[in-house]
Amino acid sequence: MTSRYRTVFILIAVIVGFFATSHIFYNGMEQIQQWNDEAHQFSEAEALALEPQFSFTDSTSALFKTLFSNDPGAPSVDGPYLVLAGSFATKSRAKKHLLRIEKLGFDEAEILYFKGKKEIYAIGVGAYRELSAAEQHVRSLAERHGLDAYVHKIRKVSRT
């Protein structure tokens, strides 16, 4: 092998090695970020345990308008209910999770703000007046997309 071919071969090996190493590094960073997000996410049990002290405060959200038809006094059967696919302590983590959910095709998903003793930023993916419809949406999300979602009954609405 001449020195010219040896140089080209070494250069190609270095480039391939660089891309392979960067790919491994990138995948590792993605995994670490996912673990970190999961560590800062409220579990369904934690969110439901805290639920009575939280107020739904974003009256400008599309889900709020769906529920109340711009009228918080509108009658409902036994709701209103929100389907939430993740609850986070920070808005930045909620934004990251929202991007993942939007990639699955949920363009209607949005970040909802709940205020109580702690602030919660939840990803809302549906709004329903009846519990059975909300529960069906949760089952559908789990079966089709593997999303861990739950039903949140709105107990208090505050306009801020």
In this structure, are 56 and 20 located in the same domain?
no
In a domain, 158, yes or no: no
Tally of domains in the chain: 2
Give the per-residue pLDDT at 70: 46
In this structure, are 50 and 72 located in the same domain?
yes
Q: How far is CA 108 from CA 115, 117, 124, in A?
A: 22, 28, 8
Domain that holds residue 88: 42-153
In this structure, are 89 and 25 located in the same domain?
no
Give the per-residue pLDDT at 129: 81
Report the alpha-carbon distance of residue 118 to residue 116 in Å, rounded: 5
3-15 pLDDT, tens digit per residue, is: 888 888 899 999 9
In this structure, are 141 and 103 located in the same domain?
yes
Q: How far is CA 51 from CA 2, 24, 55, 91, in A?
A: 73, 40, 9, 18
For residue 81, the cross-strand partners are 128, 153
In a domain, 66, yes or no: yes
65-96 pLDDT, tens digit per residue, is: 666 554 555 544 456 888 998 888 888 888 98
In this structure, are 143 and 102 located in the same domain?
yes
Give the per-residue pLDDT at 114: 77
Q: Assign residue 84 the CATH number of its domain.
A: 3.30.70.1070
In this structure, are 2 and 49 located in the same domain?
no
In a domain, 81, yes or no: yes
Is a pLDDT exceeding 70 seen at residue 54?
Answer: no
In a domain, 159, yes or no: no
In a domain, 18, yes or no: yes
In this structure, are 123 and 65 located in the same domain?
yes
In this structure, are 67 and 84 located in the same domain?
yes
Is the separation of the CB atoms in 83 and 125 below 8 Å? Answer: yes
97-139 pLDDT, tens digit per residue, is: 899 888 888 888 898 887 777 778 889 898 888 888 889 999 9
In a domain, 160, yes or no: no
Is the full-model pTM beyond 0.75?
no
